[in-house]
């Protein structure tokens, strides 16, 4: 007799479904064997804790005893947290796309007992609508088809490996000069007024913005830089940004960045902290500096566990309504601030009686705070700061969105790197300490001594670690360890010799556990993963960069810091192996494009001599996507910097200004 097994999970998303009447099973090799033994198809549902439509489908269908009875009688039902198992999610999202369907979450897939995909979709309503069948119709059809038309279903399942497996790619070479027109093409596709790709919805698309900013540095493409700056400015002013607490929502449903899909994700905010830091270095715009500081304050206050690690996300919903926690009515603001002060605040933050949004629960007018009309220049000074603090205190008494407090090694790696770079640029040692605390948690609590497995786990919660870790965990933590080493963060953590030594261990483990000789790419899942139907090797970016590009950059950095040139040669081989997909679909590989530019023109700044701190501080405060700072042991003689680009080195300089001029010099073909 099956029962709901999600009570044994640690994922907050899975635990949200632990008391559904559905007999949910956890994804595992044992569950696949169970489906084969019972001779039932698998109904796979994938979502995540901050997903609004996942909650909707749960309330409409998974909590309904009649729907649950259909599910339980005909299927082995499996629930997966896509953040806890991105490898499983990627397999079936790839299959859905290959079937010609639009992706999204919740992801609903019908599988054969061995895990082969037969059919899929996303959200299904309890009743037929917009030409789509109801969820009960889907269940009834496939339960009957499994009994009466099984050969046809199994024929479709047999196509699964070829549907999603690696495709043969012709040998190719890639010339970095080709990156310039691609950056120009991207810039032309951006909205010249609001930034972001034209139309709605609008996503941050951080890997794209990153490549465009680097392409401007390499080729002087002003249109690319302008597109990035406008995008970041409008995001910083729009409702996608939380103007009271800090932090960015996942995306905007409109073309103006006004109405967010209200969940806040760690990975988005990590990448935006990094982009805003570099945008400030490019422009000197204090709006970017302020948003970095406010977002880090939010991370420290609401997204950091007592042991130093960073939580995964905040939900979009509270009281069952998307965005309610963040919405305001004008009368409420007047009662909190008084009429005169409220008039000024409402003018600045676009608050009106008729509102710019509607509470989806009550249908009443509501307001999303934003500065799209007033702009950043009229800040209002200390009075506005005090008003915002008063509203924030009032908001804190509301029913809060749920926090997905699991710790993901890869997302933590992204945030550690972003905080470390921002700490150097803005001279904030407290931010560096915040980054170090998270890195120490991953090192001390998410590592394994089992040499048959990769050294890191992927997800941690309630004292349990999910092993084995994924390629992204090891690549992004490799980047984080190198950033901490370069910034001179205090080491070691318990048991660690140095950040650099840990980076070397991670780099070696990536080759050992994730390199796939057949495709010459990184597989998402390790060789030791026993419950993955297929080990895919994707190279395209998603909301976060694909790990191939960051790995190339990290290996170049590792070679510079360690003095071991085999890491650089390994990076060059990775770029050679990536030339095929890069040539075929460059705009889907912005992370690899960025790494290719980095390999060509990064400046290595080697510091030597006595009392190097002034030079080191100045060098670290430059764009990290443009230089590597190597600190040699102190010796007699004045501090000096040697700046090398490729095989060309400038004469040593002892003056910080002269060093910065060499770092900032154009690197045009």
Query: 3-state class of 29 per DSSP?
Result: helix
The CA angle 217-232-184, to the nearest 5 degrees, is 45
For residue range 583-625, list pLDDT tens digits in order.
888 899 999 999 999 999 999 999 999 999 999 999 999 999 9
Report the candidate in 236, 203, 209 with the shortest Cα–Cα distance to residue 225.
209
Contact, 503 vs 484, CB < 8 A?
no
pLDDT value at residue 530: 87
pLDDT value at residue 486: 97
* Least confident residue range of 195-204, 356-365, 658-667: 356-365
Residue ranges matching CATH 1.50.10.20 in the chain: 407-600
For residue range 19-77, list pLDDT tens digits in order.
999 999 999 999 999 999 999 999 999 999 988 889 999 999 999 999 999 999 999 99
Query: Is the pLDDT at 167 greater than 90, yes or no?
Result: no
Confidence of residue 495 (pLDDT cuts 50, 70, 90): confident
pLDDT value at residue 335: 96
CATH topology of domain 602-669: Glutaredoxin (3.40.30)
Query: Is the pLDDT at 669 greater than 60, yes or no?
Result: no
pLDDT value at residue 328: 97
**Average pLDDT value over all residues in the chain:** 94
For residue range 83-134, list pLDDT tens digits in order.
999 999 999 999 999 998 888 999 999 999 999 999 999 999 888 877 789 9
| Residue 566 host element (H or E) | helix 566-584
Is CATH 3.60.15.10 what the domain over 5-164 is classified as, yes or no? no
Query: Residue range 574-582: average pLDDT?
Result: 91
Determine if residue 578 is left, alpha or beta; phi over 0 gives left, psi from -120 to 50 gives alpha, anything else beta.
alpha
Residues 6+ apart with CB under 8 A from 348: 371, 374, 378, 380, 384
The CA angle 315-321-326, to the nearest 5 degrees, is 65
Query: Is the pLDDT at 168 greater than 60, yes or no?
Result: no
pLDDT value at residue 40: 97
pLDDT value at residue 492: 67
Quote the pTM value. 0.95
Task: Please state, in angstroms and rounded to a whole number, the distance separating the CA atoms of residues 246 and 243.
Answer: 6
Residue ranges matching CATH 3.40.30.10 in the chain: 5-164
Report the candidate in 290, 288, 314 with the shortest Cα–Cα distance to residue 302.
314
Query: 3-state class of 328 per DSSP?
Result: strand
Confidence of residue 490 (pLDDT cuts 50, 70, 90): confident
What are the phi and psi torsion angles at 571 (to 5°)? -60, -40
Burial call 558-590: b when 16+ CB within 10 Å, e when fewer: bbbbbeeeebbebbeebbebbbbbbbeebebbb
Confidence of residue 170 (pLDDT cuts 50, 70, 90): low
Count of CB atoms within 10 A of residue 26's CB?
Answer: 18
For residue range 220-245, list pLDDT tens digits in order.
999 999 999 999 999 999 999 999 99
Confidence of residue 166 (pLDDT cuts 50, 70, 90): low
Architecture of the domain delimited by 407-600: Alpha/alpha barrel (1.50)
pLDDT value at residue 378: 58
Query: Is the pLDDT at 295 greater than 80, yes or no?
Result: yes
Query: Is the pLDDT at 444 greater than 90, yes or no?
Result: yes
Contact, 631 vs 249, CB < 8 A?
no
Report the candidate in 288, 295, 276 with the shortest Cα–Cα distance to residue 623.
276
For residue range 355-386, list pLDDT tens digits in order.
999 988 788 999 999 999 998 865 557 789 99
For residue range 258-287, list pLDDT tens digits in order.
999 999 999 999 999 999 999 999 999 999
pLDDT value at residue 1: 78
Query: Residue range 525-536: average pLDDT?
Result: 90
Q: What is the CA radius of gyration of the chain?
A: 26
pLDDT value at residue 171: 63
- Residue 24, strand partner residues: 77
For residue range 299-353, list pLDDT tens digits in order.
999 999 999 999 999 999 888 888 999 999 999 999 999 999 999 999 999 999 9
Contact, 515 vs 547, CB < 8 A?
no
pLDDT over 70 percentage in the chain: 98
């Amino acid at each position: 007799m099956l029962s709901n097994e999600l009570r044994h999970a640690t994922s907050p998303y899975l635990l949200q479904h632990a008391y559904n009447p559905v007999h949910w099973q956890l994804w595992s090799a044992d569950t696949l064997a169970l489906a084969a033994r019972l001779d039932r198809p698998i109904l796979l549902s994938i979502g995540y804790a901050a997903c609004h439509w996942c909650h909707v489908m749960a309330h409409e269908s998974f909590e309904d005893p009649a729907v649950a009875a259909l599910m339980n009688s005909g299927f082995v039902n499996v629930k997966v947290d896509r953040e806890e198992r991105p490898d499983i999610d990627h397999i079936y999202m790839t299959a859905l796309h290959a079937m010609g369907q639009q992706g999204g979450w919740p992801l609903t897939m019908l599988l054969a007992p061995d895990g082969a995909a037969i059919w899929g979709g996303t959200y299904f309503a309890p009743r037929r609508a917009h030409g789509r069948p109801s969820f009960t119709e889907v269940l009834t059809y496939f339960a009957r088809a499994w009994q009466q038309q099984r050969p046809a279903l199994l024929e479709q399942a047999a196509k699964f490996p070829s549907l999603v497996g690696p495709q043969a790619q012709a040998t190719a070479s890639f010339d970095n000069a080709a990156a310039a027109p691609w950056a120009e093409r991207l810039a032309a596709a951006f909205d010249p007024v609001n930034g972001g790709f034209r139309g709605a919805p609008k996503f941050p698309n951080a890997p794209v913005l990153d490549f465009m900013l680097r392409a401007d540095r390499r080729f002087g493409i002003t249109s690319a830089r302008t597109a990035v700056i406008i995008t970041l400015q409008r995001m910083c002013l729009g409702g996608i940004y939380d103007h009271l607490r800090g932090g960015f929502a996942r995306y905007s449903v409109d073309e103006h960045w006004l109405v967010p899909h209200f969940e806040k994700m760690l990975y988005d905010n990590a990448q935006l902290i990094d982009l805003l830091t570099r945008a400030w270095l490019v422009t000197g715009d204090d709006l970017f500096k302020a948003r970095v500081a406010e977002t880090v304050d939010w991370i420290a206050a609401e997204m950091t566990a007592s042991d130093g690690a960073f939580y995964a996300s905040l939900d979009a919903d509270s009281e069952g309504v998307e965005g309610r926690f963040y919405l305001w009515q004008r009368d409420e603001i007047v009662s909190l601030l008084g009429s005169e002060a409220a008039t000024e605040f409402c003018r600045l933050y676009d608050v009106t009686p008729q509102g710019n949004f509607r509470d989806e629960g009550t249908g009443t007018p509501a307001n999303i705070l934003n500065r799209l009309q007033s702009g950043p220049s009229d800040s209002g000074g200390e009075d506005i700061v005090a008003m915002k603090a008063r509203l924030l205190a009032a908001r804190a008494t509301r029913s809060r969105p749920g926090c997905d407090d699991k710790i993901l090694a890869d997302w933590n790696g992204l945030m550690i790197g972003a905080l470390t770079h921002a700490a150097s640029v803005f001279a904030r040692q407290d931010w560096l300490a915040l980054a170090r605390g998270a890195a120490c948690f991953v090192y001390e609590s998410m590592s394994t001594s089992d040499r048959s497995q990769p050294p890191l786990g992927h997800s941690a919660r309630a004292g349990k670690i999910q092993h084995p870790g994924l390629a992204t965990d090891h690549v992004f933590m490799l980047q984080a360890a190198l950033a901490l080493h370069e910034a001179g963060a205090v080491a070691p953590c318990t048991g660690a010799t140095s950040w650099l030594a840990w980076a070397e261990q991670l780099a070696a483990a990536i080759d050992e556990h994730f390199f796939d000789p057949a495709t010459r790419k990184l597989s998402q899942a390790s060789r030791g993963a026993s419950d993955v139907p297929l080990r895919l090797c994707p190279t395209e970016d998603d909301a976060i960069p694909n790990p191939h590009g960051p790995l190339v950059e990290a290996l170049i950095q590792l070679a510079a810091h360690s003095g071991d040139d085999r890491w650089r040669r390994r990076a060059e081989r990775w770029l050679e192996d990536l030339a095929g997909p890069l040539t075929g679909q460059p705009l889907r590989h912005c992370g690899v494009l960025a790494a290719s530019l980095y390999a060509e023109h990064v400046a290595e700044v080697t510091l030597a001599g006595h009392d190097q701190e002034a030079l080191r501080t100045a060098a670290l405060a430059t764009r990290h996507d443009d230089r590597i700072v190597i600190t040699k042991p102190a010796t007699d003689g004045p501090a000096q910097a040697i700046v090398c680009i490729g095989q060309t080195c400038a004469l040593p300089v002892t003056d910080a200004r002269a060093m910065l001029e060499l770092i900032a010099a154009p690197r045009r073909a």
